[in-house]
Chains A and B, each alone.
Chain A
Amino acid sequence: MDLKDIFWLSYRDLNEKKVRTALTIIMVIIGVAAIVALTSFTAGINNSITTQLESLGPTAIIVGSIGTAGFTPASVSAVSSLPNVTSVTPLLTGSAVLYAGNQNTSVTVVGTTAQGLQQLIGNVSLYQGSAYQDTIAPDAVVGHSVAFPTSADGKQTITVGQSATLRLGGRGGTTVTVPILGILPAIGGLLIPIDTGVFVPLQAAEVLLHRLSFNEMLVLASSTGSVNATASLITTIYGSSARVTTTSQLASTASSIIGSITLLFGVIAGISLLVAAIGIMNVMLMAVMERTREIGIMKAIGFKSSHVLLIFMLQALIIGVAGGVAGIVVGATTSYSLAAVFSGAGSTSTTTGASASTSGSFRSGGGSSGGFSGAGAAGAPSGAAISANTSSGISFKPAFPLTTIVAALLIAVFVSLAAGIYPAWRASQMQPIDALRQL
């Protein structure tokens, strides 16, 4: 017997009961969409964190000030003179709103040296334009999602060479016109607001933010082996007036958070797949019972048990593949909207007003530190590592590695086939005499 005929008979059965088939497929879609949305979502967060950690490098130590005092140029040179310290980059951060055209975007102003900017983006080249020099002029380099805001569907709204207006200090604050010199490549915004940052020279930031002290120092140790020793040395020097965080601490915090998210998501996806499996089995058993007579006729006219088994297994396969493919699409769409919801929180909007103040709610209560304040002073990083740095929302793209898509499809097919085995077997074992006797 041709597989083509078996397929045709299976398909016909499903096609005849459209509503029932659609409902069964929807059950699979929900399960698969859950898997795809959740894994791509976590993989996206993971990628974003990895990119950032990589751009910072494994030897980076972030020192954030606690309280209003901040760090001075003297602190920078003091830390620079510690053993095994290669460089110290001071950072001055504050929140602001950037106006360009009819777009207003809540951003983090980051003042740092030209060299510091290169270190933050991991010495890769700019997406467009060029970096600024160390001047007092408020030359700006903007993060990728500032130039390509999600509220404009990722279209470019800021171009190199134009000027934008920066309003500092919330409502009634000062406004400054800044020339846009460059646009950064997409790096992420989860740990450090790079994608949502507006970078200006350190001296310019001092003027703009009316501060002469820094709230962050990015310290690079000379080797990965000396990172921990250097970090504890800095901790002893500053005690409770600074948070010292290494990239490996950030990485472990991030991975433990992602681990628990993944577990939660996995349980949800698993339950929905189990429900789908039970649903498929139930629907197929019903279909087999309904078709008892037809099965009897087919067997009487010469269909073998294996033919009947195949017809029903193929139905399960069709449901699995259809549900799997549709589930991947639905899951992908869902995770993009999830990502948009997250990164849309306080990021960009076309309305005027309150966006600057909403950004504050994402920050930890750590005094004036607006940028990446690091986490846990004494090597006990907390969940604040992520939420503390999102003054302009979490920006990341969900990731769809081929393995996720293939695995989701395989799981859908496997679950459907597993659920179909028993009903299909029941059908194949029906005796024509019993099947025909039933009226």
Chain B
Amino acid sequence: MPKETSKYSVIATGVSKVYKMSESLEVDALTAVSFKLKQGEFVAIVGPSGSGKSTLMNILGTIDKPTSGEVYIDGIPTSKMNGNELAEFRNKKLGFVFQSYNLITGLDAEKNVELPLMTASLSDSDRRDKAQKLLVRLGLGERLKMRPTQLSGGEQQRVAIARALVNNPALILADEPTGNLDTHSGDEVIKLLKSICRDGHVTIVMVTHNLDIAKYCDRIIHIKDGKLEKQEVLA
């Protein structure tokens, strides 16, 4: 397995998630979902509301555990890790972009981006440098010291993308990153994610309802009723 898995950035094998509501009521949020994503791929996950997209993202992001199945990220199986190992793993390998940005309101843009670096042993100045460079690259050079509440939605989402990128992750998970944005800022965010995929080795998995946006991607995974309905390879 290791030889085979290491070629792929993400491998999901038979991932299922069952929510047990009571003795008699169970919700099958995901049923035996399997796919392989190559390094540097930009992947869209689409599907109707309630089809299990967020559930899948949470499992890929190791903040939720599958009822059965396994997820390999960079060849590493994730289901057996404990809380601390997962925290460290997420810190090193994963980046998150949420629909509602999820920045820490009490911290300015720069500090929000520095946050994932705090768990690493990096000097203060290196840390600041890294965060600043990234924000400048994402066009936020003038916004370093601003708090999330002083930024527009598009700007906040770019700060969130900088935060996701700062640790050079293998995989960025973006659950409806344009959901709260107007078309223009949404397009900018997508172009940004696309360019990140291009010049880095980062794999990006993005949930979207917007098929126009999904067209930017290399591949579209369709989910319906918790099952992988079909995969479309565009690139």
Contact = CB atoms under 8 A, between A and B. Distances in A.
Nearest to B59: A433
A293 B102 contact: yes
Interface in A283-303: 293-294, 297-303
A304 B107 contact: no
Given A13-B106, A305-B83, A433-B64, A439 B115 contact: no
A305 B106 contact: no
Interface stretch (B5-13, B22-30, B87-95, B200-208): B87-95
B61 interface: yes
B119 A302 contact: yes
A153 interface: no
Which 9 A-B residue pairs are closest in the complex by CB-CB distance?
A: A302-B91, A432-B63, A304-B87, A301-B116, A5-B118, A433-B63, A433-B64, A1-B119, A304-B84
A2 B118 CA distance: 7
Interface string A402-439: 00000000000000000000000000000111001001
A304 B61 contact: no
A298 B63 CA distance: 12
Given A298-B115, A299-B63, A304-B87, 19 more contacts: A1-B118, A1-B119, A2-B118, A2-B121, A5-B118, A13-B106, A293-B102, A297-B104, A299-B87, A300-B96, A301-B91, A302-B90, A302-B91, A302-B92, A304-B119, A433-B58, A433-B63, A433-B64, A436-B63
B39 to A, nearest CB: 21
B78 interface: no
Interface of A: 1-2, 5, 12-13, 16, 293-294, 297-307, 431-433, 436, 439
Interface string B99-124: 01011111100000001101101000
B106 A307 contact: no
Nearest to B96: A300
A16 B106 contact: yes
B163 interface: yes
Which of B102, B118, B121 has the most chain A CB atoms inside 10 A of its CB?
B118
A152 B43 CA distance: 84
Given A302-B91, A303-B119, A305-B83, A297 B106 contact: no
Given A1-B118, A300-B63, A303-B119, A439 B100 contact: yes
20 contacts: A1-B119, A2-B118, A293-B102, A297-B103, A299-B63, A300-B63, A300-B90, A302-B88, A302-B90, A302-B92, A302-B116, A303-B87, A304-B88, A304-B119, A305-B83, A305-B84, A306-B84, A431-B63, A436-B63, A439-B100
A306 B90 CA distance: 16
A302 B106 contact: no
Contacts of A2: 118, 121
Contacts of B167: 302
B164 to A, nearest CB: 8
A67 to B, nearest CB: 78
Nearest to A429: B83
A431 B64 CA distance: 9
A439 B98 CA distance: 12
Contact of A307 (B63, B92, B96, B119): B119
Contacts of B84: 304-306
A13 B103 CA distance: 15
Contacts of A301: 90-91, 96, 115-116, 163
Nearest to B65: A433
Nearest to B83: A305
Which of B90, B98, B105, B163 has the most chain A CB atoms inside 10 A of its CB?
B90
A305 B106 CA distance: 21
A16 B108 CA distance: 13
A436 B102 CA distance: 9
A371 B234 CA distance: 107
Contacts of B96: 300-301
Interface string B115-144: 110110100000000000000000000000
Contacts of B115: 298, 301
Contacts of A303: 87, 119
Contacts of B58: 433
Nearest to A301: B116
A294 B148 CA distance: 13
Contacts of A439: 100
Interface in B29-74: 58, 61, 63-64
Contact of B102 (A13, A16, A297, A431): A297
Given A301-B91, A304-B83, A304-B88, A294 B63 contact: no
Contacts of A300: 61, 63, 90, 96
A387 B103 CA distance: 67
Which of A2, A294, A307, A436 has the most chain B CB atoms inside 10 A of its CB?
A436
Which of A1, A294, A299, A302 has the most chain B CB atoms inside 10 A of its CB?
A302
A292 to B, nearest CB: 12
Nearest to B101: A297
A436 B100 CA distance: 10
A332 B110 CA distance: 44
A224 B19 CA distance: 85
A5 to B, nearest CB: 5
Contacts of B104: 294, 297-298
A127 B97 CA distance: 78
Nearest to A432: B63
B63 A12 contact: no
A304 B90 CA distance: 10
B97 to A, nearest CB: 11
Contacts of B119: 1, 302-304, 307
B74 to A, nearest CB: 15
Contacts of A431: 63
A289 to B, nearest CB: 16
A410 to B, nearest CB: 30
A304 B105 CA distance: 20
